Amino acid sequence: AQKVTQTQTSISVMEKTTVTMDCVYETQDSSYFLFWYKQTASGEIVFLIRQDSYKKENATVGHYSLNFQKPKSSIGLIITATQIEDSAVYFCAMREEDSSFSKLVFGQGTSLSVVP
């Protein structure tokens, strides 16, 4: 069964610095999709970035990028030049290609605080 683990419960960083959030996953499938979402203070869950397992190149969107290490089953989220408004809870999630249905499984989340 698929499983997603985020071991960092909370992180605090100074504004304008770079932060990396860790995520490891378990799957028996050779093809899968990894996603990062951000949950704001209002509760809204916003899609940020994704990595397809068959792609070797790390995904990048704006100031978000991924560190995909397939042999380690790891998908880290890197936020560069952090801003106060990046403060939120970040969730890693996975969907397996070969599942009989396409359930998205989430990690427990990492709370990020960006301070001035």
Contact segment (CB under 8 A) with another protein among 20-28, 33-41, 58-66, 77-85 equals 33-41
Q: Is 11 exposed, middle or buried (0-12, 13-18, 19+ CB in 10 A)?
A: middle
Q: How far is the CB of 104 from another protein (least distance, A)?
A: 6
Q: Does 26 bind another protein (CB under 8 A)?
A: no
Give me the numbers of helices (H) and strands (E) for the chain, helices first please.
0, 12
> For residues 19 and 7, what is the distance between their CA atoms, to the nearest angstrom?
15
Q: Does 108 bind another protein (CB under 8 A)?
A: yes
Q: Does 78 bind another protein (CB under 8 A)?
A: no
Q: How far is the CB of 88 from another protein (least distance, A)?
A: 13
**CB proximity list for 67: less than 8 A, separation 6 or greater:** 20, 58, 74, 75, 76, 77, 78
Residues in contact with another protein by CB under 8 A are: 32-33, 35, 37, 42-47, 50, 52, 91, 95-97, 99, 101-109
